Amino acid sequence: MLKTEGLGYWYQDKDQPLFQDINLEFYIGQSYAILGHSGTGKTTFLSLIAGLDKPKEGDILLGDRSLKKIGLTNYRRKDVSIVFQAYNLFTYMSPLNNLMTAMAITGAKHAGDKVYAKQILNDFGISEELALRNVQHLSGGQQQRVAIARTMACDAQLVVADEPTGNLDEDNTRDVIVQFQKIAHEQQKCVIIVTHEPDVADQCDHQFRLENKQFTQLA
């Protein structure tokens, strides 16, 4: 589904790349974890495959189409959903309106369908009462569930998450990873998670470690 070809990135000095000549493939129906210490470039890699930045060299393909041809704006709108550690919700809205807005912006097939949005939130443990509250009145775990539910409400087949469990306790972490696995296996999406937590990575189908400017497959 998603492929990197000769991917490389550096800040100012090409002779000091974060990573170089990266060739990886990611498939729908599977979950992937990318492990690495702080500063190794794993979040930068995620920003590239999420269309938030451009590689210095190489290419990223969605199917057989280069992101350069798709256009990063179109790619972010239609093809990829992003989950951030800080949730990145519309803080002046309810969970329900967060989902409704995301579906409208991306032109999802269920755009405008409140019943559908409420059902997704309910599947994530967000009751109808909570769905109508301002998101700032929810716990951190609840807000992260809303953020993940938003990716399910949209049609993008690629879901990328940057340290999605970083602010959560052990129980919420376990619940969130279960939901990501459901997205991959039941909705047949490709889920890619950046994490520094081996326990989180162990629950994904595949693991890569970014170290010394290269990716190594662990599982």
Q: Is the predicted pLDDT of residue 173 greater than 90, yes or no? A: no
Return the pLDDT at 66: 95
Domains and CATH numbers, the chain: 2-217 (3.40.50.300)
* Residues near 30 by beta carbon (within 8 Å), at least 6 away in sequence: 184, 190, 191, 205, 206
pLDDT band at 181 (very low <50, low <70, confident <90, very high): very high
Handedness of CA 140, 132, 186, 47 (dihedral sign): negative
Asked if pLDDT for residue 51 goes beyond 80, the answer is yes
Pairing of strands 206-211, 214-217: antiparallel
Predicted confidence band at 69 (pLDDT cuts at 50, 70, 90)? very high
Say what the pLDDT of residue 179 is: 86
pLDDT of residue 26: 97
- The whole model's pTM is what? 0.88
The sign of the dihedral angle between the CA atoms of 208, 85, 59, 74 is: positive
Residues 160, 138 contacting (CB under 8 angstroms)? no
Residue-wise pLDDT for 102-138, tens only, equals 999 988 889 999 999 999 999 888 999 999 999 999 9
pLDDT at position 205, please?
96
Contact 124, 96 (CB under 8 A): no
E strands, the chain, in order? 2-9, 19-22, 25-26, 31-35, 57-62, 65-66, 80-83, 158-162, 190-195, 206-211, 214-217
Q: What's the pLDDT band for 151 if we cut at 50, 70, 90?
A: confident
